[in-house]
Homo-oligomer: A and B are copies of this chain.
Amino acid sequence: MSEAGDGTLLSDRIRNALTDEIASGVLAAGTSLDEQHLADRFGASRTPVREALRQLAVSGLVEMRPRRGVLVTRLTSARMMDMFETIAEVETLCVRLATYRMTPLERCRLSDLHEASKALVAARDLDGYESFNRDFHGSLYAATHNGFMAEQALAIRSRLDVFRRTQLRHEGRMAASHEEHGQVLAAIAEGDGELAARRMRAHMLNAASALGRYIADTVEG
């Protein structure tokens, strides 16, 4: 055995590292990525770096212009709104399905998760809440018992993580998020999928709204 990270492939490790750096904002949108430079940085040759970049291009995190290099995808505000609307609708869809399909155990686990998050809100633990939030929504995807849909939802969501963190910074947003989660859970408990769906959509739109100014300030349309 000789695992260094998750995948034993260099290109996978590089891809994961770059994914994190893009998602966390370390690699800002528009940054051009030089293959040789990255190779040096990771102590590898250009080959695995190129493979990683190709993969990132498919997931849409970077843009490759043939023979002109690769840059971190720069999102227009219109496209960001499109992405937010899409994930909002997909989450809405997932919650509706999850309401009708989740097992008692899953419902219980989700409820526990939600309860535990109360402490994070009180402690104003941004990182902790962000992590919980991912779990919360991820649990709902899983509860659709549709693996493919869950994957799609996760993939879209991960592309918005950069901004999600920022959103929680807004005054009172964390507490509001917690409250909205509670409303969704209540609807699920009643077995009312449509209500849960509507509340989830509202929750997502609130999160998006909290970002409105940020987006306007940061990205040129």
Contacts and interface: CB of A to CB of B under 8 A. Distances in A.
Contacts of A55: 54-55, 57-58
Interface string A50-94: 110011011100000011000000000001001101100100010
A147 B9 contact: no
A210 to B, nearest CB: 20
A148 B58 contact: no
A221 interface: no
A11 interface: yes
A39 to B, nearest CB: 15
A158 interface: no
B147 A66 contact: no
Contacts of A67: 8
Contact of A59 (B58, B82, B86): B58
Contacts of A103: none
Contact of A93 (B51, B93, B97, B148): B93
A167 to B, nearest CB: 18
Interface of A: 7-9, 11-12, 47, 50-51, 54-55, 57-59, 66-67, 79, 82-83, 85-86, 89, 93, 97, 146-149, 152, 156
21 contacts: A7-B66, A8-B66, A8-B67, A11-B54, A12-B66, A47-B47, A51-B51, A54-B54, A55-B57, A58-B59, A82-B146, A85-B148, A85-B149, A86-B146, A86-B148, A86-B149, A86-B152, A89-B97, A93-B93, A152-B152, A152-B156
